[in-house]
Structure 1
Amino acid sequence: MNHSFVARSLDEIQFWSRIMKEHSLFLSLGFTYEQQQLINEARQFIAIFERIEEKLSRFSLNSDPQQVKAFNIEVYQAAASIWAYKRKVLGLILSCKILTNNMPLLVDHISREAAYFANRLKELNEGKITPLPDAIVEENVFFLRIMADHAKFIGHLLDPSERKLVDQAREFSHDFDQLLFQAIDLDSMRPQSETEPLLDQFLDQNRVSVVSLRDFKKTARDLIEACRIKSNIHPLLADHTFREAERFIEIIDLFEASLTKS
């Protein structure tokens, strides 16, 4: 149990701390020049998560679980703080107190990821290592919505002249919305024991769709890096969304392995 706890904790921190750092960068790039205070706050979070990454490099799979537990608490506090910052920014946008290039749905999206990260660390410190069937459905609801959002962002940030890619992004958005609704339906059926045999089919279906979206993101990322697509998509943002799709596939693998053991 201790080895699993340490491995899962370090893995979550390694992946999500980089994501949080990049969120801070994307927010800072989206603010206008007069929003210097918000830019400075975003840069402070970049520094915070860089320090976390530096501290993470001192840990290993053989680290003392109690030290890892303390580190989880420290990182949890950083994740909770950036969540509050993101919600503050969203409130300013929705109340028309600031005009920014950060879309409201994007700010909401990245705040949901911060909440997920904080909650995951809290669960690990409570000893929740292996996912239960209920958690499998909830986790897929979370990630399917993330994937649907990504497709929407890509569609909006591509130049309108990139008609084929815009259409592909819209198709992915529709497909993942449908998968999300299906997952929500399954979520409401969870108390019935008959739903558990459906989880394998549910995960297989999601895997096929996520792999397809992952490949689309990889192609888009490579074309953006080669300056062969007209868009407002930062090359790092393209890679960022690709890595999150890869992460979802890894999580589906973990879920399928846990179902096989049960």
Structure 2
Amino acid sequence: MSDAFVTRSLDEIRFWSRIMKEHSLFLRLGFRAEDTQLIAEANHFQAIFEDIERRSHVFSVDTDPQTIRAFNTEVQNAATHIWAFKRRILGLILQCKLPGGTNFPLLVDHVSREANYFRNRLDELNRGRLEPLHDAIIDENLFFLKIMADHAKFIGHLLDPSERKLVDQAREFSHEFDQLVFQAIDLSSMRPQSQTVPLLSQFVDENKVSVKSLRDFKKTASDLIEQCRIKSIIHPLLADHVFREAERFLIILDMFDQSLSGHKVNKREILF
């Protein structure tokens, strides 16, 4: 399984280091001009994760697992530091010490949850203690459904209010994913009795339908923003960023679907 460990580790690092790098940029753009120390820290983290992303592509599936284990530890340490940075920013905002900035508290909490997810995943990989399939299905969905619900809220708030149809669509997605989060919480609280293949299969299938719709909405919005065809204050990179995260969730859901259907999942792909 050493090749699976290497492949999974590199997959996680390549995806999430890019996400962390972009978080640093988005946070920096939301700071006030006078927040020079926070801007410098954001730039520092952007450079760190840009370097991690670059270095991750130097390795291959044939790289010695011990080398990757050491790399995981290094990246986990960086993810822990950016998580602490994000939580500190959240504290400053909630204590009204950064008035006039444009980073929503929910957005800062959101990006900190993703950093926490990233560092925990690397720790699990290094320890060889990934969750059993049925637990992973519920916990991954709980995490990503909340992420998708947040995205819909951010899109709705960052579109120009005059884009009424798109704002309404974003609000509808926000409500839909809030309901899916509540369903996931209920399924989780019923564990282990709820962890039957029929229930989990329905859970995954229902979520796939909703995530595909949201993914397509994000793609359309991203294209329209890139072409300057709608009014918003959404950075084009942010639009692409949330689209990629929806795509990531769909890949994970497809893996769960295959596993529950009894299909063998390729070890070189995302494993749970």
Do the aligned partners of 1:210 and 1:245 also contact (CA within 8 Å) in 2?
yes
Normalised to the residue count of structure 2, the TM-score between the two structures is: 0.94
CA–CA separation in structure 2 for the residues paired with 1:243 and 1:113:
14
Alignment match, 2:28: 28
Alignment match, 2:47: 47
Alignment match, 1:183: 184
Unpaired runs of at least 5, structure 2: 264-272
Do the aligned partners of 1:130 and 1:258 also contact (CA within 8 Å) in 2?
no
Which amino acid counterpart does residue 199 of structure 1 have in structure 2?
A: L
> What's the secondary structure of 1:66's corresponding residue?
helix
CA–CA separation in structure 1 for the residues paired with 2:121 and 2:42:
23
Choose between structure 1 and 2 for higher RCO, CA contacts under 8 A separated by at least 6 residues.
Answer: 2
> What's the secondary structure of 1:197's corresponding residue?
helix
Map 1:154-193 → 2, pairs under 5 A: 154-192=155-193
CA–CA separation in structure 2 for the residues paired with 1:66 and 1:129:
18
Which amino acid counterpart does residue 75 of structure 1 have in structure 2?
A: V
More moved, 26-35 vs 194-203: 194-203
Deviation at 1:34, TM superposition (A): 0.4
% identity of equivalent residues:
71
Residues 130-153 of structure 1: per-residue CA shift (max 9 Å, x gap): 752012101100000000000000
CA–CA separation in structure 2 for the residues paired with 1:174 and 1:55:
40
Deviation at 1:193, TM superposition (A): 5.8
Alignment match, 1:249: 250
Alignment match, 2:15: 15
Which amino acid counterpart does residue 20 of structure 1 have in structure 2?
A: M
Alignment match, 1:201: 202
Deviation at 1:18, TM superposition (A): 0.2
Do the aligned partners of 1:221 and 1:235 also contact (CA within 8 Å) in 2?
yes
> What's the secondary structure of 2:261's corresponding residue?
helix
2:85 is equivalent to residue 82 of structure 1: no
Map 1:40-189 → 2, pairs under 5 A: 40-99=40-99, 100-129=101-130, 131-189=132-190
Distance 1:30 1:126, change over 3 A: same
Residues 89-129 of structure 1: per-residue CA shift (max 9 Å, x gap): 00000001112100000000000000000001011111135
Do the aligned partners of 1:20 and 1:114 also contact (CA within 8 Å) in 2?
yes
Normalised to the residue count of structure 1, the TM-score between the two structures is: 0.97
Unpaired runs of at least 5, structure 1: none
Distance 1:131 1:244, change over 3 A: farther
Do the aligned partners of 2:134 and 2:195 also contact (CA within 8 Å) in 1?
no
Alignment match, 2:269: none
More moved, 189-198 vs 108-117: 189-198
CA–CA separation in structure 1 for the residues paired with 2:147 and 2:230:
23
Alignment match, 1:215: 216
Deviation at 1:258, TM superposition (A): 2.6
Alignment match, 1:224: 225
Which amino acid counterpart does residue 13 of structure 1 have in structure 2?
A: I
CA–CA separation in structure 1 for the residues paired with 2:180 and 2:208:
11
